[in-house]
């Protein structure tokens, strides 16, 4: 059973001089449920070597581990799954390569894309950007700050779990979950925090508050 409450997306360049391993270890202490290896500015080899260390941390803690974009890296790292975007392999192809037990996620920003991803066999969705964010430089206008109304519309349209992503903090996570998300995915709310473990726990508290308000 995957704990979707708090989903960390790693990025060392946004980690205030700390290593991804340090951030992940702290997030685990704070109760993170999923860790996604992103690290888009690194080579495949570098991501693989870092991924080995992160995989060990998550395996010991029983935390779900997925790889951003790269099905081959997910296979090589024995990850629990992969998270795919518009420019990555189709969900059906990833499923053929990784098998029925793999967890396959898909980034979406519209109801139509959410429905299509569910129909293609995605296990979960990343919906966003919910709010304005500075952590991605490849978001087009249609994907930028879709808001909680879109979150609510997607919650009505699909049956698979999804996390809201984009500009989410402990201050606004409650409203994202109240709108229908199963959890929140973040980069900087954890990676740039003075105490990533406390930041993770604060996000988890905000998520639980949102669930109580549904």
Residues involved in catalysis: 38, 107, 136
Distance separating alpha carbons of residues 200 and 7, to the nearest angstrom: 9
Distance separating alpha carbons of residues 38 and 137, to the nearest angstrom: 14
Alpha-carbon 44 to chain mean position: 20
Rg of the chain in Å (alpha carbons): 16
Q: Under 8 Å CB-to-CB from 128, ≥6 apart: which residues? A: 107, 109, 143, 146, 164, 165, 166, 167, 185
Distance separating alpha carbons of residues 83 and 79, to the nearest angstrom: 11
Q: For 126, phi and psi rounded to 5 degrees?
A: -110, 115
Best CA proximity match to 35, nearest among 17, 18, 49, 53:
53
Per-residue burial over 164-176, b = 16 or more CB atoms within 10 Å of its CB, e = otherwise: bbbbbbbebbbbb
């Amino acid at each position: 059973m995957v704990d979707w409450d708090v989903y960390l997306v790693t990025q060392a360049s946004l980690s205030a001089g700390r290593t991804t391993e340090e951030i992940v270890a702290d997030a685990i202490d704070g109760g993170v449920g999923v860790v996604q290896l992103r690290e888009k500015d690194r080579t495949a080899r570098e991501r693989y070597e870092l991924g080995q260390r992160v995989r060990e941390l998550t395996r010991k803690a029983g935390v779900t581990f997925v790889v951003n974009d790269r099905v081959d890296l997910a296979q090589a790292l024995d990850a629990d799954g992969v998270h795919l975007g518009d420019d990555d392999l189709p969900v059906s192809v990833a499923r053929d390569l990784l098998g029925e037990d793999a967890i396959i996620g898909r980034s979406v920003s519209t109801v139509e894309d959410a429905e299509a991803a569910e129909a293609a066999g995605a296990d979960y969705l990343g919906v966003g950007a919910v709010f304005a964010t500075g952590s991605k430089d490849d978001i087009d206008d249609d994907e930028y700050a879709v808001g909680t109304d879109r979150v609510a519309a997607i919650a009505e349209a699909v049956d698979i779990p999804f996390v809201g992503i984009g500009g989410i903090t402990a201050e606004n996570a409650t409203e994202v979950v109240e709108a229908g998300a199963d959890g929140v995915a973040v980069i900087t709310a954890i990676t740039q925090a003075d105490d990533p473990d406390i930041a993770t726990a604060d996000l988890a508290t905000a998520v639980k508050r949102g669930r109580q308000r549904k």
